[in-house]
Structure 1
Amino acid sequence: MRLPRPLRVVLPVLAVAVLAAVPSGAAAADPPYRAVVRALSPQERADMTPSVWRRGCPVGFARLRHVSVPFVGFDGRVRRGAIVVHDAVARDVVEVFRALYRARFPIRRMQPIQRYGGDDYASIEADNTSAFNCRAATGSGRWSQHAYGRAIDLNPLENPYVSGGTTSHRGSVRYLDRRARPGVIVEGGVVTRAFDARGWEWGGRWSGTIDYQHFSADGG
């Protein structure tokens, strides 16, 4: 058995961080966990404007980071995904997805929301895990925590936004029954434990309207 390489962190000028570790308890064939955190490229900034970011958004491009991580898909195969978050929570995000990778918690897909033209509904329909999107909170005129890059929606079809006991996504209807199944977030499971360890709030604990997919560093 090969010994794991020591943790390696690289932080050059544009806040690029590389973290590597052999996952404990993962499948023997799984590659080591390697997360990359970097500033947004000029092309990414252009792709995000104006559908995902525009003048007047509560956070500027300079404070946003592209976070790339490996994840285990629903078919058990390792893939690589990316989300955009605020630089202040990038380390939290790396560690949360490290915990999910080690536990082989399945994720459908993970792409920055500009792939869906900033359309939250389309991203949910694709069961896409996403973070930054300069938009108002659902049913509100105030900024969502997604507009600050401080919130993540994880496996949104398996973990629906529920209002009045219903969901607006047909693919989520069977997940109104919150039995533990692949990709479903449950109280005390690996996902809630990972976010709780970093002080993030889970929308699955809200009263009234419940948002099972939603985790926020600042609440709301």
Structure 2
Amino acid sequence: MRVRLLCVSAVLLTGCGAAAPTVSASTAASATAASATAASAAASSLAARPLESVASPASASALPAPSDFTVVETAVTAADLPHSWRDGCPVGPADLRRLELSHWGFDGRARTGILIVHRDAAGDLRSVFAALWREKFPIRLLRPVDEYGGSDDDSMAADNTSAFNCRNAVSTGPPRWSAHAYGRAVDVNPVENPYLISGRVLPPAGAQYTDRANVRPGMAVAGGPLVRAFEAVGWTWGGRWSAPDYQHFSQNGR
């Protein structure tokens, strides 16, 4: 990234890798000073911005479009999880990792997204998303649920693929932690893969995808690339449950 940015700056002034045109000393000094001032301002701006403002749905295009599959894994802190984590959650920020992953959009273009997952699930998800990249399986959005204020409903309505969220399971039984609260579950393309429970369709926009025999892009189907990728690393697909949760894949079977 830094090499590319420096190269772009060089192109603006001289052309990357080309001989520099002759300029006066005063002109060169002015250009150098302007470039240094701009670089300093950009660095200060990035340093001041929190994670949720850097990686928000509106700024998704700010992440570079990859030319090949890449993964960048970094640690997270409580400050990175202002809406999805709180004291009393079953795992702490030190147990979680931020994965910046390549994926394909529904428009066929390469994109970069972000998942927050348990550190023990990171390796599995690297393999899963590498397989989905090879298959060119489309994913609408790949953003932390914090960008939706920690609201699972809002994240699903946006057709956002997400993982960690310290919340209870959506079920008819007694309250219990969801696998998402441990960072050990991923919901993929919720609109194309709705959760059918107690006569409800979650999210409601998923009603047009309840006919699972009518296979369309982004859907999870038995034997399809999405289900195969997760089952290859031993994860469970909720689409086989009595109350099918087609979007849900979990490491612990819950």
Q: TM-score range by the shorter chain?
A: 0.7 to 0.9
SS at match of 1:83: strand
Higher CA-based Rg:
2
1:9 alignment counterpart: none
Q: CA deviation at 1:165?
A: 4.9
2:108 alignment counterpart: 76
SS at match of 1:33: coil
Q: CA deviation at 1:118?
A: 0.5
| In structure 1, C-alpha distance between the alignment counterparts of 2:121 and 2:218, rounded to whole Å | 23
Q: CA deviation at 1:58?
A: 0.4
2:176 aligns with one of 133, 142, 154: 142
Is 1:92 aligned to 2:128, yes or no? no
Q: CA deviation at 1:170?
A: 3.1
Q: Gaps (5+ residues) in structure 2? A: 1-64
Contact 2:66 2:112 in 1 (8 A): no
Pairwise CA RMSD of aligned residues? Answer: 1.5
| In structure 1, C-alpha distance between the alignment counterparts of 2:81 and 2:94, rounded to whole Å | 13
| In structure 2, C-alpha distance between the alignment counterparts of 1:62 and 1:47, rounded to whole Å | 11
Q: CA deviation at 1:210?
A: 1.1
Q: CA deviation at 1:46?
A: 1.6
1:155 alignment counterpart: 189
Moved more, 134-143 or 119-128: 134-143
| In structure 2, C-alpha distance between the alignment counterparts of 1:141 and 1:60, rounded to whole Å | 20
Q: Which one has a larger percent strand, Structure 1 or Structure 2? A: 1
Give TM-score scaled by structure 1 length: 0.82
| In structure 2, C-alpha distance between the alignment counterparts of 1:143 and 1:170, rounded to whole Å | 23
Partner letter of residue 230 of structure 2?
A: F
Q: 1:77 to 1:60 in 2, by over 3 A?
A: same
SS at match of 2:201: coil
Q: Which one has a larger percent helix, Structure 1 or Structure 2? A: 2
1:5-24 to structure 2, matched below 5 A, reads none
2:79 aligns with one of 24, 35, 46: 46
1:136-215 to structure 2, matched below 5 A, reads 136-139=168-171, 140-178=174-212, 179-207=214-242, 209-215=243-249
Contact 1:132 1:150 in 2 (8 A): yes
Q: Gaps (5+ residues) in structure 1? A: 1-28
Contact 1:39 1:65 in 2 (8 A): yes
| In structure 1, C-alpha distance between the alignment counterparts of 2:140 and 2:80, rounded to whole Å | 23
Q: CA deviation at 1:164?
A: 3.9
Partner letter of residue 217 of structure 2?
A: P
Contact 2:103 2:133 in 1 (8 A): yes
Contact 2:148 2:154 in 1 (8 A): yes
2:50 alignment counterpart: none
1:20 alignment counterpart: none
| In structure 2, C-alpha distance between the alignment counterparts of 1:46 and 1:176, rounded to whole Å | 38
Give TM-score scaled by structure 2 length: 0.71
